[in-house]
Amino acid sequence: MRLWLVLVGALLLQLLSQRGAQAAPKGAPSTQHQRHHSRRHGGPGPGQVVPGDKDGPSAPPPGSAAGLPGGAAVDVEAGGEAAGSAGAAFGLAAEQHHRGGDHKKQGSNASAADDGDADLQGALLLLSGKLHFMDEDRDDGEDDGVQQARADHLPLDRRLANDVEDVEDDVEVTVEESLWREVDHRAPPAASKPPVAGVVRPPHRKRSNQRRSAQGPGQGGPPHVGGLNQTQPQHAPPAPNYDHDPLVVMTKKGRVRGITLTAATGKTVDAWLGIPYAQKPIGPLRFRHPRPVDSWDVTGHEIYNATAQPNSCVQIIDTLFGDFPGATMWNPNTPLNEDCLYVSVYAPRPRPRNAAVMVWVFGGGFYSGTSTLDVYDPKILVSEERVIVVSLCQAIMESGSPTAPWAIISREESILRGLRLAEAVGCPNPTRGNLPAVIRCLRNTSASELVEKEWGTLGICEFPFVPVIDGSFLDETPQKSLATRNFKKTNILMGSNTEEGYYFILYYLTELFRKEEDVYVSRDDFLMAVRELNPYVNPIARQAIVFEYTDWLNPDDPTRNRDALDKMVGDYHFTCNVNEFAHRYAETGNNVYMYYFKHRSLSNPWPSWTGVMHGDEINYVFGEALNPALNYHPLEIELSKRMMRYWANFAKTGNPSMSEDGSWTSIYWPVHTAYGREYLTLDTNSTETGRGPRLKQCAFWKKYLPQLIAATCEYGRPAPRALGHDIGMAMRVTNLKK
């Protein structure tokens, strides 16, 4: 139940781009177990895809002049925070002002109708911040009076956060930024926070010292900019000519050297791995809004060697099931470091003159994941479907639907979670009245300690730091945007899997659901599990949930009770939110294509009762089944080929059934309409279409239960209201002094 983001990806971006904003955007649980319950997912969350047009001007070498093949520019004027670095997604130190006009103009590039440089640059631009995404601390062109007037309208905690950041910048940024911007990526000065051990940065060409040696006596360091004080080299070497090297491409930040790779099928692709799209979010830039990356071509002769996979962002490693491959496949496979804001680009060989661009944004609940996982390897997809794939690390995940109850929190809740984290790492006096000191303390805490302590007493599918409605990146809830049809009008492809809940239950109800056993759930255990999974609803509402998910033909059936728990979690957290999102889009006349993935791989290492779990379709979209070393069944290979073709067609034409040349696939994918709610089954032995899916259960969660809670709130806990969520397995009240 993952999706592909094509060109503009990320649902949050679609929701908000209509208004001219720059964004359209898993017995009782234990803390150790909760950390890992989203390792595999695209977020968690089902996927959706947005189609993109073909790129602009063609060029034999990718990125020449207009960018990569098809005009897909690598340059990006933005960045994001480190994955899993807890403070990176809370709003304690977030500047809340809106971006300036120039950035708005860049953000508007992320449109399904845009071409060439604008397509890829706009998509990367809008996908490159995990939470916040805006300009520098001040807009160019604003005088001090305008800025002061704007700052006077900020809430007190925001003004305090901005004040302390400004002071820190004056002291630290002047020295540190000049070093971090160097193309050879030298380590930060000793006074700043050292990077996490084990970092392997992408290799870079050694900096030439000719420029420095050509300076006169006493003129160490870079020469002055300008005419009179600038010392020129007496014998400047001629600029090298890379016109005939197809692996060297020009971007707006300088030249980039790529590498030719071979897919498991034997076909080759060109790749540019680990290109920085933002300044390193370390030292004073931790918890700050992303800053544009500087040019690495200072002398005109320097090339960025994009030939090795980038770091993975700092995160918790899943060790709950030991070396069980079903779990470890989602653990990062490159060194962990806060310096992880990179993008990789893959293009087919021979190089196409015009190609669709597909953007992959990995999931992980905003706290885990990496773009370099083997299951995300795009080489087969790129070489088979002749598309360009852009893979981001680390950015907003594709969650399938921003209306999922775990996906968005209020700014108030984000601040309280940040204060709770400060308390967990031992910061003194973690209160709202002491925010500047709290921010400084968190910035001086190691990244590994932050991710270790960020988990509290969270429920299933609750993640510590997720996007915040802060008025800067998101200015209203996705529910409100959908209700008012205030979102980008475009075609989308999205869907879910049949057993969405089991993966998270395995990590949450660890005593009841043991991976090594054939699990059967008695009636008493079923009732206990419903209480554990729904702690924030009153007793009457909880009994309604029991009623809805009981098989009244045989309420004591242990197999049906087990499966009912899976459906309860999967419906509430994933399937019903995808359905809602698709329905809202279909109501506005957009073409929506929905899938319901039902195939369980023969090589799936999880017990058979887990069915088709969350994320099980990903390897089929990326073409893993075509790898002969993995011994997929021939029918599974055909399913993978069919899915790759659907996704690529959607990227190229906006219709998964229609190819570039106008031909149609043998199995037609119907449009999901607001009245019919059609979907296509993706399976090896079925191509049926259906309606829904799970319409009755979704009506229970979205329509009936909210009204029941509202009418009976005096009999128990009141309904959660912070974000307009109707109810919530995953809603929690933070108990922390204010």
Q: Residue 536's pLDDT is what? A: 82
CB 508 within 8 A of CB 460: yes
Residue 107 within any structural domain of the chain: no
Which residues in 576-688 belong to E strands, given as ranges? 592-597, 678-682
Q: What are the pLDDT digits (tens) for 601-632?
A: 999 999 999 999 999 999 999 999 999 999 99
Backbone angles phi, psi at 441, to 5 degrees: -60, -45
**Sheet of strand 47-49: strand arrangement:** 47-49, 492-497, 592-597, 678-682, 689-691
Higher-confidence residue of 416 and 136: namely: 416
Distance between CA atoms of residues 216 and 225, nearest Å: 15
Residue 643 within any structural domain of the chain: yes
Residues near 483 by beta carbon (within 8 Å), at least 6 away in sequence? none
Residue 613 within any structural domain of the chain: yes
Q: What number is the average pLDDT over the span 13-40?
A: 42
Q: Residue 96's pLDDT is what? A: 30
- The mean predicted confidence, pLDDT, of the chain is 71
The H-or-E segment that residue 543 falls in is helix 539-548
Strand partners, 224: none
Kindly give the interhelix angle for 435-443 and 411-424, rounded to the nearest 10 degrees.
60
Distance between CA atoms of residues 85 and 83, nearest Å: 5
HSE toward the beta carbon, residue 190, CA cutoff 13 A: 0
Q: What number is the average pLDDT over the span 533-538?
A: 87
Residue 367 within any structural domain of the chain: no
Which residues in 567-628 belong to E strands, given as ranges? 592-597
First-residue to last-residue Cα distance in the chain? 39
Residue type at position 594: M
Q: Dihedral sign, CA of 264, 269, 272, 277?
A: negative
Residue 628 within any structural domain of the chain: yes
Distance between CA atoms of residues 182 and 159, nearest Å: 32
When mean pLDDT is compared across 152-161, 172-181, 260-269, 485-494, the lowest value belongs to 172-181
Q: What number is the average pLDDT over the span 374-378?
A: 97
Distance between CA atoms of residues 187 and 531, nearest Å: 51
Residues near 230 by beta carbon (within 8 Å), at least 6 away in sequence? 223, 224
3-class DSSP state of 269: strand
Q: Report the C-alpha dihedral over residues 59, 652, 128, 194, rounded to 10 degrees.
A: -60
Question: Which tokens is 204 given?
Answer: 């870079």
Residue type at position 700: F
Residue 655 within any structural domain of the chain: yes
Instruction: Give Rg (Cα) of the chain.
Output: 25
Give the distance from CA 406 to its chain's centroid.
14
pTM of the model: 0.67
Residue 63 within any structural domain of the chain: no
Q: Residue 632's pLDDT is what? A: 98
Distance between CA atoms of residues 134 and 694, nearest Å: 39
Q: What are the pLDDT digits (tens) for 338-370?
A: 899 999 999 999 998 889 999 998 887 777 889
Q: What number is the average pLDDT over the span 162-182?
A: 36
What letter does residue 140 receive in the DSSP assignment?
Answer: T
Q: Residue 101's pLDDT is what? A: 38
Q: What are the pLDDT digits (tens) for 299-332?
A: 888 999 999 999 999 888 999 999 999 999 999 9
Residue range(s) defining the domain that contains residue 550: 493-698
3-class DSSP state of 188: coil
**Sheet of strand 259-262: strand arrangement:** 259-262, 268-276, 342-348, 388-393, 357-361
Q: Residue 348's pLDDT is what? A: 97
Question: Which tokens is 518 given?
Answer: 């054939």
Higher-confidence residue of 521 and 736: namely: 521
Distance between CA atoms of residues 46 and 631, nearest Å: 27
Distance between CA atoms of residues 577 and 729, nearest Å: 14
Number of domains in the chain: 1
CATH number for the domain that contains residue 648 = 3.40.50.1820
